[in-house]
Amino acid sequence: MAACSFRRSIASQLSKVLDLPPENLIKSISAVPVSKKRHVADFQLSIASIIENSSSDCLAQDLHLQAQQLAERLKCDSVVSAISAGPGTVNFTVNRELLAKTVLQQVWKDGSEYGVKSELFSTVPRQKAVIEFSSPNIAKKFHIGHLRSTIVGNFIANLKVALGHEVVRINYLGDWGMQFGLLGVGFQSFGNEEKLKSSPLQHLFEVYVQINKAAEDENTKKLAKDFFRKLEEHDEQTLSIWKQFRDLSIEEYIRIYKRLGVHFDEYSGESFYQEKAQEVLKMLEDKGLLQKTIKGTGIVDLSEKKDLSTFSTVMRSDGTSLYITRQVSHLDLAAAIDRMNKHSWDTMIYVTDKSQSNHFQHLFQILKLMGYDWAERCQHVSFGLVQGMKTRRGEVIFLEDVLNEVRSRMLQNMTSTKTTKEIQDPVETAEKVGLAALIIQDFRGLLSSDYQFSWDRALQSRGDTGVFLQYTHARLHSLEQMHGNAELTDVNVACLQEPDAISVLQHLLRYDEVLYRSSQDLQPKHIVSYLLTLSHLAAVAHKTLPVKGSAPDLAQARLCLFHAARSVLANGMKLLGITPVTQM
């Protein structure tokens, strides 16, 4: 990584002056974010971070003074061309030609691995992560929460894979429980084999809605109970009906996820853990953790004083699953234990909305009480709620509705703009650009914050949107097409001294730090704002540093700069789950 060699060089000089090992200093030296208003240095050292146990009573003026004193003891060399003191920082400017040469070479050489090969990650052990995300309920709505879970889980998985970790992507379906009793009975009355095969998700949902209207009827209730009891007893005919519902639903899900650019290694579900869940109940009983209420409900006491001030219900008196009540069910416990046995993971991440935070806290607590220390390596990544996402047909019921809506709106926008050239596959392009718009709108803030969804805002072509990222990528791509690909071998970097070129180079320098931040807190927003800034800087440079009509030396150097910007933009977009388009 380009930044690494510069950080190391600065650290080695500092280590001599401060008499500290360079390794301790590297994390305190960071690339400076580009500022619109003024010219900035390339790196800064934070004084506070290197003072041992620096307590907050270190006054700002003391830090400033220390920064000035340190700056005076340092010398410029072949790498650093200027050193100055700022408020509590020492700022370093790298030799301009060296900056251009190092950054461009590194982006060129590392390609899609630029940034992830940085030594910032050298202390991070390669791990195996299991990530459970998306997880819709068969025959029920695929609501916006499932969509968020899908794109957030996919981002976390992409990031971990890029950083060299092994990832298992699991979709844990709601594929069991009393609702399948109702669904089975409903299908006998309202079902249609043809419709089931051609659009299973929609048909099962319609059947479920219809039978629910009759669910109060005593006879229907009894039939549904019988159907589910037969399922639990593994009656062959009943099981084969259920299996058909499940298999056809998964086939359709796979097709739709593919449009989103998402795949799973495993489609698991509550149905897998019926027997194992009984074993879990027995373990809880043997360890004296399971208590029965008067009604016969199974609970686990989670209170400090063992006074039941907090407890978790793990099973209903009739033995049915608790998924619907958002309590920790014995199924969830069985699933967690089974995954450990099967995958022996280092970390397991559940991606769901924040209303389920208690559920996961309880799940992890019970696992610990059962003696599973690995429960501490389980993590719940939660996100806020999205208000106001509607399609023209009304409320969102199926994921496919959202994808079709974003595609048709984007197509409409593209056909109405004058700049849209004739492109080979407008429908495909509209879908990719539309998805970028959805993902960027979703990832711009902290995951835990709620937000109001707006089609118009998401699909704007100007401003901080996914459409703008795609547009920038397509523009830079066509620039390369028009002028032939840049060759790095004979680039005269002395040509790249304009402020707008330097800004792009400085920004490319920071990419590894941004990836590192996202890898630490699993928030995509750091990468999003980085890519939006990169696109704005590239757009300015595109205006002020023309390739066309410039001297060959200059044109070639600028082409290289734009190639590097496009390469990093594409890498970042792919991590977020966006497919970059080459024309629009």
Cβ atoms 477, 412 nearer than 8 A: no
Phi-psi region of 306 (alpha: psi -120 to 50; beta: other; left: phi over 0): left
Q: What share of the chain is helix, strand, coil (3-state, %, to 5)?
A: 55, 10, 30
List 496's β-bridge partners, or say none.
Answer: none
DSSP letter string over 19-50? T--HHHHHTTEEEPPP-SSS---SEEEESTTT
Q: Report d(CA 182, CA 497) in Å as an integer.
A: 71
Q: Is 473 a catalytic residue?
A: no
Cβ atoms 573, 469 nearer than 8 A: yes
The two counts, helices (H) then strands (E), for the chain are 21, 16
Structure letter (DSSP) for residue 288: T
Q: Is 146 a catalytic residue?
A: yes
Most distant CA pair in the chain: distance in Å?
89
The catalytic position among 101, 141, 143, 542 is 143
The candidate with the shortest Cα–Cα distance to 562, out of 575, 549, 545, is 545
The catalytic position among 146, 230, 432, 507 is 146
Structure letter (DSSP) for residue 542: H
Q: Find the distance separating the first CA and the last CA of the chain, reported in whole Å.
A: 32
The candidate with the shortest Cα–Cα distance to 544, out of 532, 531, 554, is 554
Phi-psi region of 463 (alpha: psi -120 to 50; beta: other; left: phi over 0): left
Sign of CA dihedral 425, 427, 428, 431: positive
The catalytic position among 27, 64, 117, 140 is 140
Enzyme catalytic residues: 140, 143, 146
